[in-house]
Chain A
Amino acid sequence: MLPESLAISAILFAIGVVGVLTRRNVIIVFMSVELMLNAVNLTFVAFSREYGFAGQVFVVLVMTVAAAEAAVGLAIVIANFRHRHTVDLQAIDLLKG
């Protein structure tokens, strides 16, 4: 099932990339990043079946990092929403050069 898993993972990762590139809602962009992390986790689990448990260990670590990223990212979204009253990425351009 390794090639099938890697194919599913590649497709999910590409869908996540499309979400990051095309969506304007910053929360949906965050969710697309979560989808990309999930796709990578599927790769880890699929390889862990072939090469040992280290892959599953790293899935646990990736999930922790994803949780931390979601917490900080959503805090930034809320703080930004207080000032700008929008989650549209086109309108969030304060740091644009």
Chain B
Amino acid sequence: MYPLAPSLLYDVTFYLFGLIAIVSAITFVTRRSPVSAALWLVNTMFCLAALYVLLDAPFIGAIQVLVYAGAIMVVFVFVVMLLNLGREPQVADRRHRLRLAGGAAVALALVALLSSAQHGAPLAAEAWSRDSVAIIQHAEGAVAPIARPLFTSYLLAFEVTSVLLLVAVVGAVVVGRRRGDEGPIRAA
């Protein structure tokens, strides 16, 4: 399987998944129902997982499906259904149209800025060819080359992230807990 040889099939697959990801993201941001927006975002994340596999990162693709599409988005859908949110009411006042125009302008400016950044000088890379990642993964498997730097060079970042998760869990419980004087959740 590795390295994925450059071929027409590879290019077509890559562009196809990229296109589906972008179209799904646009559909996501324009839906008024939160549940359908969440499902379109899940679709985007699946396409990103496919792109990760095509970019020689199969482990990242797997945890993208497991963690993002499987866990984080389920929590989002869970909250949407817990709060019993329906479709947003249609608003067509001038302020709303102004917001949409401003958002579109910011998006175009951002895409222009980010694509102009691509033409900068390349980073100084040591002898590392395009197939190195694929060759190492072929020799050692997909997980070991990620785990080794994670638990050596980036051990501090890893530990800080662990503490962050602990803080987030405690914080979520404290913030989300119901106090005695509050009633149960009611639909809006």
Interface size class of B (residues with CB under 8 A): 35 or more
Residue of A6, A22, A30, A49 near B56 (CB, 8 A) is: A49
User: In the complex, A38→B91 CA distance in Å?
Assistant: 29
> Chain A contacts of B176 at CB under 8 A?
74-75, 78-79
Given contacts A14-B110, A81-B185, contact A76 B175 (CB under 8 A): yes
> Chain B contacts of A53 at CB under 8 A?
133, 136, 145-146, 148-149
> What 1/0 flags go to B167-178 for Cβ under 8 Å of A?
111011101101
Residue of B63, B114, B175 near A60 (CB, 8 A) is: B63
Give the dominant DSSP class at A's interface. helix
Q: How far is the CB of B67 from chain A (nearest CB, A)?
A: 5
User: In the complex, A90→B55 CA distance in Å?
Assistant: 41
Q: How far is the CB of A1 from chain B (nearest CB, A)?
A: 6
Tell whether A82 is near chain B: CB-to-CB under 8 Å.
Answer: yes
Given contacts A56-B60, A60-B150, A64-B165, contact A1 B111 (CB under 8 A): no
Given contacts A41-B48, A67-B71, contact A21 B103 (CB under 8 A): yes
